Every structure is written in C-alpha cells, then in structure tokens.
Amino acid sequence: MDRNELVRPWWLLPPGRLHPLWWWAIALALVLADYLVGPSTQFPVLYVIPVSLAAWYSGRPSALAIAVAVPLAHLVFLVAFWKVPREAAPIAATMLRAGAIAVTAMWVARLAEHERALERYVYRLEGLLPICAFCKSIRNSAGEWEPFEAYITTRSKAEFSHGFCPSCGRTHYQLFEQDEAS
C-alpha cells in the first residue's frame, strides 16, 4: 500500500485529545452570549459546535454534559431571568434542542472512538526490519534478536502455526515423495 493512500481526508478532524475544560469555557461563552442576546434570538446550531468538538477531542461524558448544560442554562434563563410568558412551547423547544444536541454528541463521540479504533487496527509495521538472513530473527528497538514469530505476535494479533511447504518437505525431510510417485 502506498503511503499516499493513508493521507487523512480533509473533512476528518485532526487527531488528538484536549482537556474538557476548553469546551466548558466555549460553552460558557455561548451561554453568556445567549443570555445577552435574550429570548428573542436563539442560536441553537452554535450549541452543536462545542458539543461536537468536545465529543471528538474529549469524549462522550464531557460532550453529553455540555449538551445538557447549555440548553438547561437556556431553560433557566427562560424561566428565571427573562420575562417570557410561561408557555409550554419555548420550554418544549429547548428540551427538544437538548435531545437533538445530545444525540449529536453521542454520534460524534462514537465516530471519534471508531476512528481511533481503526487507527489502532490498521497500524502496521513500516520501514525496514533488520532480519537475520539465516535464522530470520528480527532485531528489536533494544538491539536484541527475537524470533520472527515472537516479534510479530507481540506487535499484532497474528498467531502462527507451522508446517512444511512441499519444496521444503522434499528438500529437508524427504516428505511428499510418495505423493509424486503415485
């Protein structure tokens, strides 16, 4: 496989992990903006941005916490601070928004987990392996020689079984001669 085939797609977020407090700071800024703008203008799509980024870079728990906390703050503003008539529609819309953002958080977190699992699964040996021309042992990073099977087994989930190919069976053990004679 050519190394150029393994280039990350442009649409996939860069890998990495960030502390959840970064996303809480962004979420608090959005809550403050929501409070300052008031009940008339809402930016529910902006809630998805910190939740999605938190899901990708910090995991499901912080993303779900933000997905619940930001709409809950909006609900508190509706009920306690803004003089909005106590109707069910704004409260229901806020709860629906919280549900949709929580589903988005879970989806993006699962996508991030899956992408990381794929990276671990696809990990393969690259480059040159120093291998003995006679016994096929491989020199590891510590400079010690390991049997080929042990080297590969410790670095992957591959398991080995042993047998003889027909050529080696004929050359080394006079096996398979009966098959050819008959």
- Spans of all domains in the chain: 3-122, 130-182
Q: Which residue is it, tokens 């977020």?
A: 13
Q: What is the 8-class DSSP label of residue 77?
A: I
Question: pLDDT digit string (tens) for 68-100?
Answer: 888 888 888 878 887 767 777 777 877 888 888
Rounded CA gap, 128 and 125, in Å?
9
Lowest-pLDDT range of 34-48, 100-114, 145-159: 34-48
